[in-house]
């Protein structure tokens, strides 16, 4: 059966999705251009036509994943409900115990970014934009009188640091932390940061 002819943009997106899957399965260090090509049944040359090197492909794949994560976050935070409900939904979804996937991918990315300037810029930009989105909704909640937070930017930093740290524990060390316990800690931290009673529903 003949393959459907894809546009350049569609082909690039297909290659990026395949690269993400291969990185999650094999790790950045082990993944090869040939792995991505084989997963799609295309030639190495086709992959290299769109991405001139493995490094360029990896950086583009992480950028693609980052934009997807941020789009989902913006959708959650853009709902027509209270700032507190939006914030709780976002934190619960993106906690390593939530529905969001891809923590293994980002842990791989952080490790490689220590030595790869291009990937370091991608992960830094994602981190900066994540914190900015959370800071904005926290500030909205303060302005609306929903909760008290003297420094929304610092709160966003502490919350994301907790999520990142728990992700490493849950992803890298099976059984180190019970998932229900990690979720409790995330909920408690959010309530503490906003001066809320953790026993009361959002």
Could you give the CA distance from residue 87 to residue 139 in angstroms, rounded to a whole number? 11
Say what the pLDDT of residue 199 is.
Answer: 65
Say what the pLDDT of residue 1 is.
Answer: 40
What token pair was written down for 140?
Answer: 């909205």
**8 A C-beta contact, residue 36 and residue 49:** no
The tens-digit pLDDT sequence of the chain (202 residues) is: 445 677 888 899 999 999 999 998 888 888 999 999 999 999 999 999 999 999 899 989 988 988 888 888 888 898 999 999 999 998 888 888 765 667 888 888 888 888 888 888 888 988 999 999 999 999 999 999 999 999 999 999 999 999 999 988 888 887 888 888 988 999 999 999 999 876 665 5
Q: Which helix or strand (DSSP H or E) is residue 45 part of?
A: helix 44-50
Residue at token pair 């082909």: 11
Rounded to a whole number, what is the distance in angstroms from the first to the last CA of the chain? 53
The pTM assigned to this predicted structure is 0.81
Distances (CA, A) of 52 to 30, 47, 48, 61, 62: 18, 8, 5, 13, 16
Say what the pLDDT of residue 98 is.
Answer: 65
Q: With left for phi above 0 and alpha for psi between -120 and 50, is residue 66 left, alpha or beta?
A: alpha
Could you give the CA distance from residue 189 to residue 138 in angstroms, rounded to a whole number? 14
What token pair was written down for 142?
Answer: 């303060």
Q: With left for phi above 0 and alpha for psi between -120 and 50, is residue 177 left, alpha or beta?
A: beta
What token pair was written down for 76?
Answer: 């959650």
96-123 exposure pattern, b = at least 16 Cβ within 10 A, e = fewer? bbbebebbebbbbbbebbeebeebbebb
Say what the pLDDT of residue 112 is.
Answer: 86
Say what the pLDDT of residue 172 is.
Answer: 83
What token pair was written down for 175?
Answer: 């059984």
Say what the pLDDT of residue 4 is.
Answer: 63
Q: Which helix or strand (DSSP H or E) is residue 55 part of?
A: helix 54-77
Rounded to 10 degrees, the C-alpha dihedral 180/127/28/9 comes to 110
Say what the pLDDT of residue 107 is.
Answer: 86
Residue at token pair 């040939």: 34
Could you give the CA distance from residue 71 to residue 25 in angstroms, rounded to a whole number? 24
């Amino acid at each position: 059966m003949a393959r459907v002819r894809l546009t350049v943009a569609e082909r690039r997106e297909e290659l990026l999705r395949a690269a993400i899957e291969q990185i999650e399965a094999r790790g950045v260090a082990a993944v090869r251009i040939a792995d991505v090509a084989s997963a799609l049944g295309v030639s190495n040359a086709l992959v290299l036509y769109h991405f001139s090197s493995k490094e360029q492909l990896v950086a583009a794949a992480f950028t693609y994943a980052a934009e997807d994560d941020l789009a989902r976050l913006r959708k959650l935070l853009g709902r027509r409900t209270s700032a507190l409900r939006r914030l709780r939904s976002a934190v619960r979804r993106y906690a390593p115990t939530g529905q969001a996937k891809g923590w293994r991918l980002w842990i791989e990315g952080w490790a490689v970014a220590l030595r790869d300037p291009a990937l370091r810029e991608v992960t830094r930009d994602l981190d900066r934009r994540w914190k900015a989105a959370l800071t904005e909704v926290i500030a909205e909640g303060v302005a609306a009188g929903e909760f008290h937070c003297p420094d929304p930017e610092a709160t966003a930093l502490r919350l994301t640091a907790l999520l990142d740290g728990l992700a490493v524990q849950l992803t890298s060390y099976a059984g180190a932390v019970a998932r229900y316990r990690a979720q409790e800690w995330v909920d408690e931290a959010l309530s503490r940061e906003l001066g809320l009673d953790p026993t009361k529903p959002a």
